[in-house]
């Protein structure tokens, strides 16, 4: 035996950081017989194999090279063999006979050079390996003419790492990985493995404890509650959305209509009581419905793998894997592809703010706070019981930025809505004095996180023109939607949480008290032009005892339905893009439960639910038809109050118009249950004003009070306008009027 007892022990105890140094084929010096002063070269081959009774080395290409038997050195399967008939390394196979007499022939995993090159190590350490998902993880590849899977994982503080899975009985002794040194990457190429193999990494952490970890870069996971990663080849899907992607590159989304239907994949519609549709089954159903409703985009709650279903996807355990609950990665590609071919954009929630404590995932990955901050004042979310990413560590920042690029490249996602941005930006987020650590200047801003968000936005937009990024940011942080070169964070849009809270607070008030809260609906225009806003009524507002939108409204059934219709019309006519969570368009009366479907049966329970759905259809139609409702959302001149001071009667009136004063719409709101006849409102233009939508119309479940064929302006100054007219204001309703161009204006 050439192998020393110490080396043998390190292999059997899986304590060797460079198993390729001992396993595989190596040259060594052999003393010539009878003359120990003369040396010549020989070769030694060592293999560590489970369930092997006999092992033989056979050459692959040059049949003149020697074949020879390996002898067992250890009962656990350590073999060694020597040949003095060759003095150079050559390609070889191992012919393995098991204890049942079956034979297989494979290339030796320890005969290959590293599959990770020095440039990848350098860029990863720098935080700039943008296609990290093509380097780390389990990559199906042909290496030196041999097909197999290369595994690579970042675990710099591990004592040793092995690949375990179905192929080695989940025994960490048989596929130990080699450490690539300072990069902290461990690597191994295993010939003969194919798609579908389950695996994990067995990590001996810095404390000597063994941990079984799923692959942070894994493309597919077992269906929960199982947690193994599965080897998967993302290549091979034939996309049909080229036309969509080309048009997307040229799109100016700030001056385009965007109305988003927010969807939880498992709870939109179910087969029977509890079974969810898979990605492929859902595609035609969702496309048909979104087309019917007139939304321009769908936004999925996070679909990255998550072990805990009630987290709705916000506690991610597999950042590079669409959840297997609904099918394979290619099934998910099919869903997005079909939506694109149908002309529907796809956004997805992305969660770089925090990750859960699940022991099989990122938490304390190599026994240290690797992805998270070690100091709980910086690395632990008290509100959510999760870990916070260490944005100051290059490799962690690289992991997250590459993840964003991954979804945009591999799955053609049109945009990412970044969850909980405020918690990323502020070091003292939801913390008391003494519970947080100031930055180097003594401030509360997370400087490393700011740099991360700017880098993410810059790379996402430069590498994928036409995509959009959205911040769920609930504070007054400045310039969230301004470019990094201007000092901004670089997002395209920001959820207008202030508008949402003020609006819902107002509409939940009994109409008799609304005059005391009149400014709730006017305050938003004071800061509207500071950011590019999306107006959200999201899933967050219909859970945890908050009640459904319909439930929030005051009054009897008629008034609740009327208030909901007014709420939706206010959202669609106010400047900013639109987002509505599934079920809001039906006026459902119960808050959302992820375990059940939307209660579609309400459409058969009276006129109010069908009326709400019909209204959203018409709002989306009018919204897309009229540039005035989206072309100048973020430019002064696209919105003008006519009268925002009538708090005693709770009425509002304003103008929306497009570029060059074209396509002028007048919106009038009466938010009390009292109809008002002969109500004078100032007008900026003479001529006719046609009523094109009235939320009190009978088709929506209203009382059908309205303005008939429209109104003609009178040369009577009012509300600071040169023209005016007498209108009928239906109760708890919003009316939209289109200015009719005069022939001789």
Report if residue 194 sits inside a domain. Answer: yes
Report if residue 484 sits inside a domain. Answer: no
Q: Is 546 helix (H, G, I), strand (E, B) or coil?
A: coil
Task: Determine contact, residues 464/404, Cβ cutoff 8 Å.
Answer: no
Span 406-427, mean pLDDT?
97
Span 143-172, mean pLDDT?
95
User: How confident is the model at residue 40, as a pLDDT?
Assistant: 76
Model confidence at 37: pLDDT above 60 = no
Question: Do 18 and 157 sit in the same domain of this protein?
Answer: no
Quote the CA–CA distance of 204 and 591 in Å, as a whole number. Answer: 46
Q: Which whole-number Å values give the CA distances from 651 to 504, 566, 688, 707, in the listed order?
A: 17, 12, 22, 16
Res. 739 pLDDT band, cuts 50 70 90: very high
Name the strands in the sheet holding 146-154, side by side, starting at the edge strand that comes first in the sequence: 137-143, 146-154, 185-191, 178-179
Question: Do 94 and 141 sit in the same domain of this protein?
Answer: no
Report if residue 28 sits inside a domain. Answer: yes
Quote the CA–CA distance of 64 and 26 in Å, as a whole number. Answer: 18
Report if residue 20 sits inside a domain. Answer: yes
Round the average pLDDT of the chain to a whole number and report it: 94
User: How confident is the model at residue 154, as a pLDDT?
Assistant: 98
Quote the CA–CA distance of 119 and 121 in Å, as a whole number. Answer: 5
pLDDT exceeding 90 applies to what percent of the chain? 91
Q: Which whole-number Å values give the CA distances from 188 to 48, 205, 329, 337, 366, in the listed order?
A: 14, 18, 24, 34, 18
Which residue range is the domain that position 529 belongs to? 496-538+553-571+605-745
Question: Do 709 and 650 sit in the same domain of this protein?
Answer: yes
Report if residue 137 sits inside a domain. Answer: yes
User: What digits encode the pLDDT tens for the residues 244-287?
Assistant: 999 999 999 999 999 999 999 999 999 887 899 999 999 999 99
Model confidence at 188: pLDDT above 50 = yes
Q: Is 677 left (phi over 0), alpha (psi -120 to 50) or beta?
A: beta
DSSP track, 240-278? --HHHHHHHHT--GGGS--EEEEE-TTTSSEETTTEEP-
Question: Do 101 and 125 sit in the same domain of this protein?
Answer: no
* Residue 701: half-sphere exposure toward Cβ, Cα within 13 Å: 25
Nearest to 655 by CA among 687, 695, 686, 682: 682
Radius of gyration of the chain (CA): 32
Write down which residue in 53, 76, 111 finishes a domain. 111
User: How confident is the model at residue 745, as a pLDDT?
Assistant: 43
Nearest to 265 by CA among 300, 219, 313, 306: 300
Model confidence at 407: pLDDT above 70 = yes
DSSP secondary-structure letter at 523?
Answer: G
- Return the structure tokens found at 265: 């994949």
User: How confident is the model at residue 34, as a pLDDT?
Assistant: 46
Model confidence at 32: pLDDT above 60 = no
Question: Do 13 and 89 sit in the same domain of this protein?
Answer: yes
Q: Which whole-number Å values give the CA distances from 700 to 198, 563, 696, in the listed order?
A: 54, 12, 7
Cα-flanking dihedrals φ and ψ of residue 682, to 5°? -70, 150
Report if residue 263 sits inside a domain. Answer: no
| C-alpha torsion 714→720→726→732, nearest 10 | 150
Question: Do 655 and 701 sit in the same domain of this protein?
Answer: yes
Write down which residue in 77, 111, 145 finishes a domain. 111
19: domain CATH number?
2.60.40.10
Q: Is 720 left (phi over 0), alpha (psi -120 to 50) or beta?
A: left
Question: Do 645 and 715 sit in the same domain of this protein?
Answer: yes
Span 515-528, mean pLDDT?
97
Task: Work out the angle at residue 146's Cα, subtended by the Cα atoms of residues 141 and 148, and round it to the nearest 5 degrees.
Answer: 45
Write down which residue in 70, 94, 111 finishes a domain. 111
User: What digits encode the pLDDT tens for the residues 96-134?
Assistant: 999 999 999 999 999 999 999 999 999 999 999 999 999
User: How confident is the model at residue 31, as a pLDDT?
Assistant: 64
Model confidence at 33: pLDDT above 50 = no
Longest dimension (CA), the chain: 123
Report if residue 432 sits inside a domain. Answer: no
Question: Do 655 and 731 sit in the same domain of this protein?
Answer: yes
Quote the CA–CA distance of 246 and 82 in Å, as a whole number. Answer: 61
Question: Do 534 and 638 sit in the same domain of this protein?
Answer: yes
Give catalytic residue positions: 419, 472
Count of Cβ atoms closer than 10 Å to residue 142 Cβ: 9
Which residues, including other chains, have CB under 8 Å from residue 717's CB and lie 6 or more apart?
A: 682, 723, 724
Report if residue 435 sits inside a domain. Answer: no
- Return the structure tokens found at 524: 């938003």
Model confidence at 93: pLDDT above 50 = yes
Model confidence at 660: pLDDT above 90 = no
Model confidence at 161: pLDDT above 50 = yes
Question: Do 49 and 183 sit in the same domain of this protein?
Answer: no
- Return the structure tokens found at 317: 């355990």
Question: Do 31 and 84 sit in the same domain of this protein?
Answer: yes
Res. 744 pLDDT band, cuts 50 70 90: very low
Res. 203 pLDDT band, cuts 50 70 90: very high
User: What digits encode the pLDDT tens for the residues 678-732?
Assistant: 999 999 999 999 999 999 999 999 999 999 888 999 999 999 999 999 999 999 9
Model confidence at 349: pLDDT above 50 = yes
Quote the CA–CA distance of 426 and 421 in Å, as a whole number. Answer: 9
Res. 655 pLDDT band, cuts 50 70 90: very high
227 preceded by cis ω (within 30°)?
no
Span 160-189, mean pLDDT?
95
User: What digits encode the pLDDT tens for the residues 547-601?
Assistant: 999 999 999 999 999 999 999 999 999 999 999 999 999 999 999 999 999 999 9
Count helices and strands (H / E) in the chain.
13, 38
Element (H, E) at 408: helix 394-410
Question: Do 90 and 217 sit in the same domain of this protein?
Answer: no
Domain count, the chain: 3
622: domain CATH number?
2.60.40.1180
- Between residues 662 and 316, which one has the greater pLDDT? 316
């Amino acid at each position: 035996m050439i192998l020393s007892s110490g080396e043998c022990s390190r292999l059997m105890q899986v304590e060797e950081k460079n198993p390729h140094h001992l396993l595989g084929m190596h040259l060594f010096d052999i003393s010539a017989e009878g003359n120990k002063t003369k040396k010549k070269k020989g070769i030694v081959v060592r293999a560590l194999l489970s369930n092997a009774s006999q092992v033989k080395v056979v050459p692959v290409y040059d049949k003149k090279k020697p074949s020879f038997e390996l002898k067992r050195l250890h009962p656990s399967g350590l073999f060694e063999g020597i040949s003095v008939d060759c003095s150079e390394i050559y390609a070889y196979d191992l012919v393995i006979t098991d204890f049942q007499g079956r034979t297989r022939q494979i290339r030796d995993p320890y005969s290959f050079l590293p599959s990770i090159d020095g440039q990848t190590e350098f860029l990863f350490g720098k935080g700039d390996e943008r296609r990290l998902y093509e380097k780390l993880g389990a990559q199906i590849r042909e290496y030196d003419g041999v097909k197999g899977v290369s595994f690579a994982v970042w675990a710099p503080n591990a004592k040793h790492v092995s690949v375990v899975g179905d192929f080695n009985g989940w025994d960490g002794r048989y596929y130990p990985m080699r450490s690539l040194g300072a990069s902290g990457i461990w690597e191994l190429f295993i010939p003969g493995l194919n798609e579908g193999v389950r695996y994990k990494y067995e990590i001996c952490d810095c404390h000597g404890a063994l941990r079984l970890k799923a692959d942070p870069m894994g493309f597919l996971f077992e269906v929960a509650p199982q947690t193994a990663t599965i080897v998967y080849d993302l290549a091979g899907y034939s996309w049909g959305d080229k036309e969509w992607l080309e048009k997307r590159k040229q799109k100016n989304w700030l001056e385009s209509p965007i109305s988003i239907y927010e969807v939880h994949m498992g709870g939109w519609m179910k087969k029977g009581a509890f079974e969810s549709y898979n990605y492929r089954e859902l595609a035609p159903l969702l496309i048909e419905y979104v087309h019917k409703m007139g939304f321009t985009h769908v936004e999925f709650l996070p679909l990255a793998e998550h072990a805990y279903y009630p987290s709705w996807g916000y506690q991610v355990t597999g950042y590079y894997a669409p959840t297997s609950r609904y099918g394979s990665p290619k099934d998910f590609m099919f869903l997005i592809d079909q939506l694109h071919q149908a002309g529907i954009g796809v956004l997805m929630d992305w969660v770089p703010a925090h990750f859960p404590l699940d022991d099989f995932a990122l938490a304390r990955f190599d026994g240290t706070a690797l992805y998270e901050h070690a100091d709980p004042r910086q690395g632990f979310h008290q509100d959510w019981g999760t870990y916070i990413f260490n944005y100051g560590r290059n490799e962690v920042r690289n992991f997250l930025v590459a993840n964003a690029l991954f979804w945009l490249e591999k799955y053609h996602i049109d945009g990412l809505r970044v969850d909980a941005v405020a918690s990323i930006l502020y070091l003292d987020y939801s913390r008391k004095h003494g519970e947080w650590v100031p930055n180097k200047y003594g401030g509360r801003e997370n400087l490393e996180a700011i740099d991360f968000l700017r880098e993410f936005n810059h790379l996402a937009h430069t590498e994928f023109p036409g995509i959009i990024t959205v911040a769920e940011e609930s504070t007054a942080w400045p310039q969230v939607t301004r470019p990094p070169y201007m000092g901004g964070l670089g997002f395209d849009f920001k959820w207008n949480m202030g508008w949402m809270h003020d609006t819902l607070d107002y509409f939940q008030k009994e109409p008799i008290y609304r005059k005391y809260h009149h400014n709730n609906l006017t305050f938003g225009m004071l800061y509207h032009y500071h950011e590019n806003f999306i107006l959200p009524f999201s899933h967050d507002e219909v859970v945890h005892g908050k009640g459904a939108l319909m439930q929030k409204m005051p009054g009897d059934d008629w008034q609740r339905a009327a208030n909901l219709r007014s709420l939706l019309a206010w959202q669609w006519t106010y400047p900013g893009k639109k987002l509505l969570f599934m079920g809001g368009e039906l006026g459902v009366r119960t808050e959302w439960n992820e375990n059940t479907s939307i209660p579609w049966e309400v459409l058969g329970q009276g006129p109010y639910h069908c009326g709400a759905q019909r209204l959203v259809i018409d709002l989306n139609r009018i919204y897309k038809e009229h540039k005035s409702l989206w072309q100048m959302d973020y430019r002064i001149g696209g919105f003008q109050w006519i009268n925002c001071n009538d708090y005693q009667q709770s009425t509002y009136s304003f103008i929306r118009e497009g570029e060059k004063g074209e396509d002028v719409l007048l919106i009038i709101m009466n938010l009390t249950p009292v109809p008002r006849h002969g109500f004078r409102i100032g007008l900026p233009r003479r001529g006719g004003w046609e009523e094109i939508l009235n939320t009190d119309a009978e088709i929506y479940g209203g009382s059908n009070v309205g303005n008939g064929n429209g109104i003609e302006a009178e040369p009577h100054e009012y509300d600071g306008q040169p023209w005016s007219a007498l209108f009928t204001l239906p109760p708890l309703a919003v009316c939209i009027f289109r200015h009719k161009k005069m022939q001789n204006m």
